[in-house]
Amino acid sequence: MSVKKVLIGLVVLCISIIPVSKAFGMQGFYGCFQNFSKHNVTFKVVKSSHVEHVSHMCWDKRFYIKADDWPFSTSYVNVQFYVDGKKYAYFDVKIAYKGSHAELHGIDKSVAPDLVMYTDFARAPGKGSEDYWYVTFGPDESHWMGEIADTLQKIPISEVLLPGSHDSGTFDYDKHCEVSNTDHIPSWVVELLKTADVAPLYEYLADVCRQQDMNFYDQLKHGIRYFDMRICKGRDGKSIKFTHTMEGKITLEEGIDQFKKFFEESGNEKEVILLDFQEMINVDLGRIFNIINSRLGKWLVPKEMGIKARVGDIWAQNKNIILIFQQNYDNPNVWYRHNCFHNSANRTTDVNEAFGNMDNRIKNRNHDEMFCLGTNLTEQPDDLIKGFLNPLGSSPKKAKQIDLHYHYAIHNWLIDHTDDLVKNGNAIHENFSNGIWLTELCKYINTLKAKNYN
């Protein structure tokens, strides 16, 4: 073979590699950091191999790393965190054409024992897109209501602002979970799934249906005080499971035990929660109540107190849990949802449409009932089908890919609507909540609300 042919071949190869790099090379990595603690938290990005640039964007706690466009290369970056000038932890970040990966190392809790660090990750759909890593620093939110008791005590329970989680019981969904015994999916589809028993399909369905990462106890510890509970009869015909198209692994008894554990702990005497069973499918209400009452009965708030009861009035009765049922159940400790509660959810993945819905709902809130403002985005069936059929495409593959990318926009919207939240806010729920940000927002808004109830 002549030298000329070899050179021509090399030129053709280089030209062909350029579009391949654009198709398969990672475009970059977003690191997003928030600090709500009393400590001074800083970070330093140490560049390593194959990193085109590192830049701060939008605010001083966010940066973007653009990887090398050379196909199939791997970029390495080290991100170091400092608390009050002392090294606290570090991330090793790897960016490759398959996506990014970060590992947290060297946490030194002795630097700040009271500091909570929460990390989360959202992988971009397809290849050649940006992945997002979120790191939040904050205080221990376990006892936040008790810590601002003087602020909260005169605010009615229908007006106090509470941080919440949407589809709160979906945290343990994975490919081993079954499709739930509900009417959400046609029976023929359920039978097809059971017959096919294709693990990737179940894994994909779990990624779509899972809306939270933390279990109930951890959500409580991170400040969550409104819980969106959905249950159904298990496929085994005996158990009660948490549902969102699929059924989770833990039973209702195991889930309620996590609440019991929290309220048995010292320091949680002034934490008040809304336990909203908004879906109760193919279950016996008497059995459900007995399971809950046998574990949480002494903390249940009597419905005769009504939605105008002040937080301090509830504390005076040594009560903590407002139990709400979708269906009417004749018991003095069960609040009928139809008479006392309304919540909203966004049936769209368009953030601007979601903002329009949220604006309308918060401004037109009915004060004769408790209210939850939904900030979640909802995956659309067509997009999800495309995502499954085209793994390399840009359609979302997981619910987390939809929600986490919009968290900052939604958080900014809430801040911009501070006046509306003071006037009409009651509870706010979100998907994949770490609790810390919403809790800090609610603490601030409640200090403003309290001025109306002196």
**Domain termination residue (choose one: 112, 138, 164):** 138
Give the distance, in angstroms, between the CA of residue 40 and the centroid of all CA atoms in the same chain. Answer: 26
For the segment 138-155, the average pLDDT, to the nearest whole number, is 97
Do residue 184 and residue 106 come from a single domain? no
* 9 confidence band (pLDDT: 50, 70, 90): very low
- Chain segment 382-441, per-residue pLDDT in tens: 666 666 555 555 555 677 777 777 787 888 899 999 999 999 999 999 999 999 999 999
Higher local confidence (pLDDT), 450 or 55: 450
For residue 291, being part of any structural domain is answered with yes
Split at pLDDT 50, 70, 90, the class of 12 is very low
Residue 6 covered by a domain = no
- pLDDT: which is higher, 98 or 48: 48
Same-domain status, 174 and 133: no
Whether residue 214 sits in one domain with residue 248: yes
Q: Identify whether 246 is part of a domain.
A: yes
- Tell me the C-alpha distance between 130 and 121, whole Å: 11
Q: What is the pLDDT of residues 270-283, one digit of tens each?
A: 999 999 999 999 99
Evaluate whether residue 372 is within a structural domain.
Answer: yes
Per-residue burial over 283-312, b if 16 or more Cβ lie within 10 Å, else e, is bebeebbebbbebbeebbbbbebebebbbe
Residues 228-275 pLDDT 10s = 999 999 988 999 999 998 899 999 999 999 999 999 999 999 999 999
Evaluate whether residue 18 is within a structural domain.
Answer: no
33-50: pLDDT as tens digits: 888 899 999 888 887 777
Whether 8 is covered by a domain: the verdict is no
CB 97 within 8 A of CB 24: yes
Token representation of residue 97:
């054409």
Q: What is the CATH number of the domain that holds 113?
A: 2.60.270.20
Are 121 and 157 found together in one domain?
A: no
For residue 191, what pLDDT is reported?
67
- Pair 174, 257 in one domain: yes
Whether residue 345 is found in the same domain as residue 433: yes
Q: How far separated are the first and last CA of the chain, in Å rounded?
A: 92
Residue 396 pLDDT? 59
Domain for residue 67, yes or no? Answer: yes
* Domain end among 138, 158, 192: 138
Are 85 and 169 part of one and the same domain? no
Q: What is residue 202's predicted lDDT score, i.e. its pLDDT?
A: 79
DSSP 179-210: BPSSSSS-HHHHHHHHHH--HHHHHHHHHHH-
CATH number at residue 320: 3.20.20.190
Residue 81 domain boundaries: 26-138
Are 125 and 170 members of one domain? Answer: no
Mean pLDDT in residue range 109-123: 87
Final residue before a domain boundary, out of 95, 121, 138? 138
Buried-state track 156-186, b at ≥16 Cβ within 10 A, e below 16: bbbbbbbbbbbbbbbbbbeeebbbbbbebee
Asked whether residue 150 is domain-assigned, the answer is yes
User: Is the pLDDT at 124 greater than 80, yes or no?
Assistant: no
Q: Radius of gyration over alpha carbons of the chain, in Å?
A: 24
For residues 30 and 63, state if they share a domain. Answer: yes
CA dihedral 439, 442, 446, 448 (to 10 degrees): 130
Domain count within the chain: 2
Specify whether 291 is located in the same domain as 339: yes
* Residues 35 and 66 reside in one and the same domain: yes
82 with 155, same domain: the answer is no
Please list, in sequence order, all residues whose beta carbon lies within 8 angstroms of the beta carbon of residue 434, skipping any fewer than 6 positions away: 118, 120, 134, 136, 214, 222
* pLDDT tens-digit series, residues 24-35: 444 667 777 888
Could you tell me if 29 and 93 are in contact, meaning their C-beta atoms sit under 8 angstroms apart?
A: yes
